[in-house]
């Protein structure tokens, strides 16, 4: 009876691992397809490359869940040993990748904020992206740096009516760093949380499986 309960629990756990792997792959794919960006071409490759690695790792997580189903239901010792090893390694790598994804998101959020501030300072530079963000998200400037517009004048994108001169009294009061987030950062953030949680789950599963086999 106890063994039957463990089999059911491990099958549910393996299903969770497979679904989580699918979720990791899906989040990375959707993040890579988003076109809105403010990073330079060189630095844009950073999260793009990381998303590709996360997709590969998501596929490994799915494979781990499938091996788990075979190990639990077929009672093949070889698969059981492979499963425990892969599960433990996957758990550690998931924790590492999850933490790395969250760190990368934090770094790029700060970088993009600096990029927006630079576009606010240099009004002669290409403001296409900043104008797009301000107009479409009904926001104006970056928190703590709006005074730059007080000195150089408010761009038309900071006001609802883009065909009239924009002044401070009619400008949007919410800053863009509070509303706009690069989509790839958003998906990396959710992916990081999912991978961290799944890493803890995989390590707990490894310990539980070892205890179940001893008993």
Q: Tokens for 84? A: 């425990």
In this prediction, residue 124 has a pLDDT band, given cuts at 50, 70 and 90, of low
pLDDT at 119: 81
Q: Taking a C-beta distance cutoff of 8 angstroms, is the pair 73, 7 a contact?
A: yes
Instruction: Say whether pLDDT at 157 is over 80.
Output: yes
Q: Kindly state the percentage of the chain with pLDDT values over 90.
A: 0
143-to-40, 82, 100, 113, 148 alpha-carbon distances in Å: 22, 52, 27, 9, 11
Residue bearing the bigger pLDDT, 4 or 168: 168
Closest Cα to residue 109, out of 195, 192, 165?
Answer: 192
Across 210-215, average pLDDT? 70
Instruction: Say whether pLDDT at 199 is over 80.
Output: yes
Q: Kindly state the percentage of the chain with pLDDT values over 70.
A: 81
Closest Cα to residue 138, out of 162, 169, 110, 163?
Answer: 162
pLDDT at 44: 52
Closest Cα to residue 209, out of 93, 100, 64?
Answer: 64
Selection from 44-48, 101-105, 118-122 with the highest mean pLDDT: 101-105
Mean pLDDT of the chain: 78
**Structural domain boundaries in the chain:** 2-214
pLDDT at 39: 47
Across 127-149, average pLDDT? 85
- The maximal CA–CA distance of the chain, rounded, in angstroms, is 77
Q: Taking a C-beta distance cutoff of 8 angstroms, is the pair 187, 37 a contact?
A: no
Residue bearing the bigger pLDDT, 119 or 76: 119
Burial (CB count within 10 angstroms: exposed 0-12, middle 13-18, buried 19+), residue 11: middle
CA 19 – CA 21 distance, rounded (Å): 5
Closest Cα to residue 193, out of 99, 103, 70, 129?
Answer: 99
pLDDT at 118: 83
Instruction: Say whether pLDDT at 60 is over 60.
Output: yes
Q: Taking a C-beta distance cutoff of 8 angstroms, is the pair 10, 72 a contact?
A: yes
Instruction: Say whether pLDDT at 73 is over 80.
Output: no
Closest Cα to residue 34, out of 44, 42, 24, 20?
Answer: 44
Helix and strand totals (H; E) in the chain? 6, 0
Instruction: Say whether pLDDT at 21 is over 80.
Output: yes
At residue 142's C-alpha, the angle toward residues 40 and 146, to 5°, is: 130
Residue bearing the bigger pLDDT, 53 or 95: 95
What is the tens place of the pLDDT at every residue in 29-38?
776 665 455 5
pTM: 0.63
């Amino acid at each position: 009876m106890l063994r039957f309960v463990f089999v059911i629990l491990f099958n549910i756990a393996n299903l969770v691992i497979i679904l989580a792997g699918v979720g990791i792959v899906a989040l990375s794919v959707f993040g890579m397809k988003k076109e809105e960006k403010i990073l330079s071409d060189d630095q844009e490759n950073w999260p793009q490359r990381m998303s590709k690695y996360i997709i590969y790792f998501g596929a490994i997580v799915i494979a781990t869940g499938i091996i788990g189903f075979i190990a639990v239901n077929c009672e093949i010792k070889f698969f059981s040993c492979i499963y425990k090893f892969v599960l433990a390694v996957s758990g550690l790598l998931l924790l590492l990748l999850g933490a790395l994804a969250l760190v990368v998101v934090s770094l790029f959020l700060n970088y993009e904020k600096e990029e927006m501030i630079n576009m606010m300072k240099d009004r002669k530079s290409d403001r296409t992206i900043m104008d797009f963000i301000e107009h479409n998200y009904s926001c104006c400037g970056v928190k703590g740096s709006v005074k730059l517009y007080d000195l150089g004048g408010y761009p038309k994108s900071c006001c609802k009516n883009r065909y009239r001169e924009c002044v401070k009294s009619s400008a949007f009061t919410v800053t863009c760093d509070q509303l706009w987030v690069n989509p790839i950062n958003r998906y990396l953030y959710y992916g990081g949380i999912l991978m961290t949680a799944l890493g803890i789950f995989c390590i707990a599963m490894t310990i539980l499986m070892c205890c179940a086999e001893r008993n």
